[in-house]
Amino acid sequence: MVAGVDVGGTKTLALLVAVDADGTPVVVDREQVPSDANSPEVVGSIVDALGAVLARASTPVERVGVGLAGLVDLTGVVRRAPNSAGLNDVDVVGAVSAAVGLPVVTDNDANCVAVAARALLAPDAQHLVAVTLGTGIGGGLVVDGQLVRGAMGFAGEPGHMVVDRNGVPCPCGQRGCWERYASGTALGRLGREAAEAGRGTSLVTAAGSVEQITGEHVTTLAAAEDPEAVVVLDEFADNVALGLANLLVVLDPEVVVVGGGVIAAGERLLARVRSTLATEYPHAVDRRNVQVLGSPGGPEAGALGAALIAAG
Ligand SMILES: [Zn+2]
């Protein structure tokens, strides 16, 4: 028995997971608490959610895995988290293991999604890319069957690949990062821009005002076939395809997994991403057989992967 925690921008989820001998995970309990990744109190939310499932566990829990947004170094200290300021330079391993009395491992949240996706969707895949489109964009890369961590543990951060050097400023200090165009945050911005240009009447009605339009309004209305929201979602999908094309030419994966809050848009988003890859980026997709899939486990994929990393 292991536990996995996923620390999101606004909530923290802990799972209790039984892993059988061939590595198949079964979720046996869950606890979600509200949290604010920009507040130092976010570590307390990890301990609260985890404490709840540990208290209810009927068999001993051996280890805990925690998935975090941002650059997590090889010792478990968060070194740079532009979208989770409350975690900057926090020793999450030390703080959480002291609080719960168990060994703790941490990893980047998109690495966790990559591990869960491989276990559940593509156990034979040796080359897999996972991207999580949420507040920012996380990335998890499996190459030759292994998670790629890099020299410091910071590898797989495609959200800060620059796609326009004169582009939108990013909290990381660069301009034109991919996540400014293809994260959940970016989807909200595209919705607001469409509304300001008079092409988002239904978005304004749903949100109450232009300023209040979020990515969720766009995905909800697009799912209901609202034509203006569909145009915004299609533009967004084209931005997603742009970054994926760059990853394909560098990494040549068999499977690309798309997760994060934006995946609520489901097949409508994925179908447009696939068709744009095929039409706009022939060099990236020709002679390959890449599958572009939605992440498994829905919003629990990150916590599930964290548990699998803890299980080793
Ligand atoms: Zn950036």
For the full predicted model, state whether its pTM sits above 0.95.
no
Distance 136 CA to ligand 1 centre (A): 9
Distance 131 CA to ligand 1 centre (A): 15
Distance 183 CA to ligand 1 centre (A): 11
Instruction: Kindly tell me the burial class for residue 56, based on how many C-beta atoms sit within 10 Å of its own C-beta (0-12, 13-18, 19 or more).
Output: exposed
Higher-confidence residue: 306 or 68?
306
What does the domain layout of the chain look like in residue ranges?
2-113+299-311, 116-295
Instruction: Say what the pLDDT of residue 262 is.
Output: 84
Distance 178 CA to ligand 1 centre (A): 7
Please state, in angstroms and rounded to a whole number, the distance separating the CA atoms of residues 133 and 269. Answer: 12
Q: Is 2-113+299-311 a domain of CATH 3.40.605.10?
A: no
Q: Residue 195 — pLDDT band, cuts 50, 70, 90?
A: very high
Distance 148 CA to ligand 1 centre (A): 20
Place of tokens 């997971």: 17
CATH homologous superfamily for 116-295?
A: ATPase, nucleotide binding domain (3.30.420.40)
Distance 125 CA to ligand 1 centre (A): 29
Distance 146 CA to ligand 1 centre (A): 26
Distance 180 CA to ligand 1 centre (A): 8
Distance 84 CA to ligand 1 centre (A): 13
Answer yes or no: same fold for 2-113+299-311 and 116-295. Answer: yes
Q: What is the pLDDT of residues 62-115, one digit of tens each?
A: 999 999 887 777 777 777 776 677 788 888 899 999 999 999 999 888 899 999
Distance 156 CA to ligand 1 centre (A): 13
Q: What is the pLDDT of residues 209-229, one digit of tens each?
A: 999 999 999 999 999 999 999
Instruction: Say what the pLDDT of residue 90 is.
Output: 85
Place of tokens 């609520």: 264
Distance 170 CA to ligand 1 centre (A): 5
**3-class DSSP assignment, residue 278:** helix
Q: Residue 243 — pLDDT band, cuts 50, 70, 90?
A: very high
> Two tokens at 177?
């990062």
Distance 254 CA to ligand 1 centre (A): 27
2 touches 310 (CB < 8 A): yes
Distance 161 CA to ligand 1 centre (A): 7
pLDDT at 187 over 80: yes
Distance 15 CA to ligand 1 centre (A): 30
Distance 46 CA to ligand 1 centre (A): 26
The whole-angstrom distance between residue 93's C-alpha and the CA centroid of its chain comes to: 21
Instruction: Say what the pLDDT of residue 100 is.
Output: 95
Distance 132 CA to ligand 1 centre (A): 15
